[in-house]
Structures are given as structure tokens and as C-alpha cells.
Structure 1
């Protein structure tokens, strides 16, 4: 969490009472992250999840009976969601990789939507938390992809628009600028969905996409 937290416990009396803070019977000031000031304020540096719970504030001036109050500490950290930057224009047959980071407390869940409808894993779509992969892209995969980060208290999201263009719009001058060995490795590692790798191995990647599309096309008998 790493947050700075201040809890104040005001006590009055004559003589002026001394304020002490404890948790589960132990003086919290023994922890270097905890500091108790003369005015009764408890400061917690770099709050952690295990700091949640009940704290006892006790005021005692040595004359009157000690007075005490119990304070319940619950921690919360605002959520945020962010989809890593990606090439938003794809061609049929390519693979789409999206990665979403979501943080906050209580720990959130991450789900995906396309055009406002939930996405689930199937033969072409693979979802693992913040990772989304769509293989053998079709024109129907064009749309707005939304990463939803949510817990019981909050919901945030980030979106990216993906456009899938027809396969036959590939440039006619599509040749490999990298070595055959390198392009073979890129194809074998299924990296043609990344522009960084497909550009220097355009011809090899195009040939692989054609093979995939032909293999996935229905055969009429």
C-alpha cells in the first residue's frame, strides 16, 4: 500500500493525560513504522495489509480512571486500469495480444468485454486475467475492447479500439528483409502478430497466415 496514515485520538483532563496506542495488548510504538505524538495522533508510515484491525487508544493522567476508545482500521486503495499500448490496426489472420494492468485494494478482478459484451475463452480467444489473445483474426473482431478492473467497492476500465482489415489489402511488395533463419524462428514462435517482428519477415508471415486461413476454412465435399 505504501500510504501515509494519521489517526487522531483527542483526550482532555487536568493534569493533561498521556495517550498511548496499542493493538492486541502490545504498544504499537515499538514498530518503527508507528509513531505516537503527544497530542494523541498515531502516524503509520508505509501502511500494509496486515495493519488492518482494531487499535486501542488509552488516555491516562494518573488521577482519574483511564479512558479508552477502540478504532477500527480498514484500508482502501483506489483502483486503476491500463491497457498496454498496441498496434490498433490488424489484418485478417493475425493474432491480437492485449495486456491490462489493474491494481488497488481490496484486490480487484480483471475481466474483458468487446463492444460492451463479456468475452470468454474459446477456440480462438484465450483469457488469463489481464491477458487477452485472439488468434486468426476475422473482420468481425473489429471493435472496442474493454478491460474492467473491479472489486466490491469500485469499478474502473480502460479501452482500446481494434480495426481488422481484409487480408487481400496486404501490400503487393511484401518481402522478407531479415534472414530466412530469423524469419523461420519468428513464424515458429508465432510472433507474426507483432508488427515489430512481422515487418522484417513480411513474406514469411504472410505465407504462414495464408496457410492458417486455408487450414481453418471449411471444406465442401
Structure 2
């Protein structure tokens, strides 16, 4: 139903009046693929899955132990998750995936427990 809608009318049967309005649809954040428990294997590369759907689109931010995670060293932040290279026992723990839609101010948080698998 989103789109541009136009209303037209004639004033005194001679002057045409016209007004247009664009309608946007806003969809709340929904978790598409973000299991609350995930099991990487030691030594492998693993993607901690966290995908959200929203309109307008949500951006994803990551934290672990209150520290923001960015792409560096063994971590790669992607739109569909957090890549951990060479999984170690120390990667075990609670990760916070935050979906944010800046234009609407909506925020959703998903806590994901990463438990290494031998």
C-alpha cells in the first residue's frame, strides 16, 4: 500500500487542483535468524547468526562483556552475523546483538549465548 497518492479536483469547473502525498510503510524489527544459543566448534570459523528484518532497514551492533565489537583481528562484523575466526574456549559467553532503526528510534536486543562444541 506504500506509494504516492494524488488527489485531483476542479474548482469552479475551470481550475484544476492537485495534491500528492507519499505514504511509507514502517515495519517493526523482527528477528529473522538469531537463535539464542549457538554452538561453534573449536578451531573453526563460525558465524554467530543475528539477522533482523525491518522497514526502514535496521543496522546491527555487537557487544560482548559490555565492549563494542568491531571488525578486527579474529572478528568480522557482517549484516547477517558476527564471524569469529579460529574459535577458542575464550570465545564462549554471552554476546549482545542490537538492531537499531535510526529514523524511527526503534531498538531491539537479542542476547546470544555462544557455547563452544568440542
Give the TM-score taking structure 1 as reference length: 0.41
In structure 2, the CA distance between the partners of 1:67 and 1:127, relative to structure 1 (3 Å rule), is closer
Tell me the alpha carbon deviations over residues 39-67 of structure 1, each in whole angstroms, 9 at most, x when there is no partner.
xxxxxxxx4xxx2x4x3323569879776
- In structure 2, stretches of 5+ residues that fail to align are none
- In structure 1, stretches of 5+ residues that fail to align are 6-46, 165-194, 199-221
Pairs within 5 Å for 1:169-180: none
Q: Which runs of 4+ in 1 moved over 6 A?
A: 61-67
Say whether the 8 Å CA contact 2:45–2:86 is kept in structure 1. yes
Say whether the 8 Å CA contact 1:80–1:157 is kept in structure 2. no
1:101 aligns with 2:51: yes
Aligned length: 115
Q: Greater strand share, 1 or 2?
A: 2
Tell me how large the CA RMSD over aligned residues is: 3.3
1:57 aligns with 2:7: yes
Q: Greater helix share, 1 or 2?
A: 1
Give the TM-score taking structure 2 as reference length: 0.67
- Measure how far apart 1:119 and its partner are: 0.8
